[in-house]
Amino acid sequence: MADSTPQLTRPRKRRRDPERTREAILEVSAKLMAKDGPEALSVSQVAQLAGVNRGTAYHHFQTREQLVKATTDWVSEKMTDAVFGDAEQQRNRPEVVLGNLAHFCVEYPEFGRVWLVRILSMEDRNQDHFWRQFKSQVDRFVASEAAHEGIDAEVHAVRVLTSAILWPVWMRSRSATPEEREEMASRFTREMMRLHLDGLFRKEKYSDLEMMPTHL
């Protein structure tokens, strides 16, 4: 007679996913950094909030400085992927780049704040991947036949980025519904495109400004 006693099997160990664990740590770290600044970060606190074992967290980031650097790098990479994900689609399409930037900043206002603090503290801002790519795109546009002469590429890039980052903070996007956030992003994109295409002043009303020097 066959033995009908159920055979006990050892439960399978859940496979670890180091990349997913690292991603979870960095996401929590970025949100904390936006709220309290980099000085308030600690590896153990981030591990606890991310639901990760302290030993595992310290395996990824031995020091607070390493965590801060990795977090700001991660945010810059996230922004680059979101804004320039499909390089071919976005080549020479400013409305796509502006729309992607607006949607990212509205959906993740804390990441925009982290990036802004990072870029302001850097000696060589070209070391930041997102800034380098965004500025390069502006440079190409300014040098193209599609642009007016005399545009200051750096001033223009800073104006667009700081506006995109501050807009969702001003509009308190974190407490908005998905539909409201979508409208916030669309409003920003429309106004930026209108500004790019039409400007602000009617030249006939400000004819005395046409002789204004480019460099004061």
10-residue averages of pLDDT along the chain (216 residues): 49 65 95 90 93 93 95 96 75 84 96 95 95 94 89 95 97 91 96 86 70 52
Reported as a single tens digit per residue, the pLDDT across 111-159 is: 999 999 999 999 999 999 999 999 999 999 999 888 888 899 999 999 9
For residue 93, which phi and psi values (nearest 5 degrees)? -120, 80
Find, among 194, 192, 167, the residue nearest to 181 by Cα.
Answer: 167
The mean of the pLDDT values for the chain is 87
CA Rg value for the chain:
23
Q: What letter does residue 216 receive in the DSSP assignment?
A: -
Give domain limits for the chain. 71-200
